[in-house]
Amino acid sequence: MKSVAFVTTCKSRLHHIKQTLPPIVAQAPDEIVVVDYGCPDKSGDWIEDHYPTVKVVRVNDDEDFCVARARNIGVAATSSEWICFIDADILITPGWLDWLRQNLHPSFHFRSIQSDRTKGSDTWGTVLCTRQAFARSGGYDEVFRGWGGEDNDFHSRLQLAGYSEAQFPAEYLQAIEHDDKERYAHYSIKSKLHSRIINKFYRVAKLQIMALNNLNPDIPLDLRKQIRNEITSALRDWNPDDTREYPDVSLTFNSTGWLPPPYRMKNQVTLTLSIEKQDESSF
């Protein structure tokens, strides 16, 4: 039987954990790990008092919330063959773990799909992959900050590592509704739109570097940090405000390639990312 670990991350989400953790425990996966990322509400303490079989990992060195880092830390605390990343505000229904154990295949990673074959945006962060796939993809990119982007980035690198996407029925999941103020409480950028644009620019820049280096996803951490800092700096003051001039971000990348000795090829590419506003009729 396939061993499955559930990894949940949280910061100030005890009220959600109280609703979502019991159904996970009831289905008895092989491991459950909750990463208490400096929770002011002491989520980890409550979990240890009420569910001693759940492993709590605490992170206390970051005032913000970095979901990518939290998920990587959670994985490090598991040993199961399969890892299920599930947010603190996602309820699961009976039978989901049975479905997973019967249908998971190590050549794929799994995300949710609804009965009409559309993807469930509220549950899109729930993903399953093998431990091997996680390692080969490099895990989550901890340079991502703020809301959005890290899921799609991880998904893209899983595919590049050779693990195609498969789906599980979204009907097994239900997202707890809550407002954006709660969602961004521990992010330095409080605007969903602003955060999505910054992280989208960062993702595109990463893909360009990968293309320049034969689709190699292993981009040095210092370079990734530099790229996102430049993008954030260029876009921070705009904060999307249509009364201001739309910013451009120009990034220059260098690489070398093979040529017959004694030569080698040098590449230099300048990527310019810009913003334009669409006419509402084109949405």
Q: In the chain, what are the domain boundaries?
A: 4-183, 192-282
pLDDT at 282: 54
Contact 168, 113 (CB under 8 A): yes
Give me the mean pLDDT over the 13-19 stretch. 95
Tokens of 105: 């295949």
Measured distance CA(272)–CA(246) in Å, rounded: 13
Rounded alpha-carbon distances, angstroms, from residue 160 to 57, 138, 207, 215, 279: 30, 11, 11, 8, 34
Query: In this prediction, what percent of the chain has a pLDDT beyond 90?
Result: 61
Measured distance CA(121)–CA(141) in Å, rounded: 21
Per-residue DSSP letter, 122: G
Q: How much is the pTM?
A: 0.89
Mean pLDDT score across all residues of the chain: 89
**Residues paired with residue 227 on neighbouring β-strands, in sequence order:** none
pLDDT at 182 over 90: no
Kindly provide the residue ranges of all beta strands, DSSP E only, lying in 125-180, ordered along the sequence: 127-130, 164-169, 173-175
Q: Which CATH superfamily is domain 4-183 in?
A: Spore Coat Polysaccharide Biosynthesis Protein SpsA; Chain A (3.90.550.10)
pLDDT at 63 over 80: yes
Tokens of 186: 């521990």
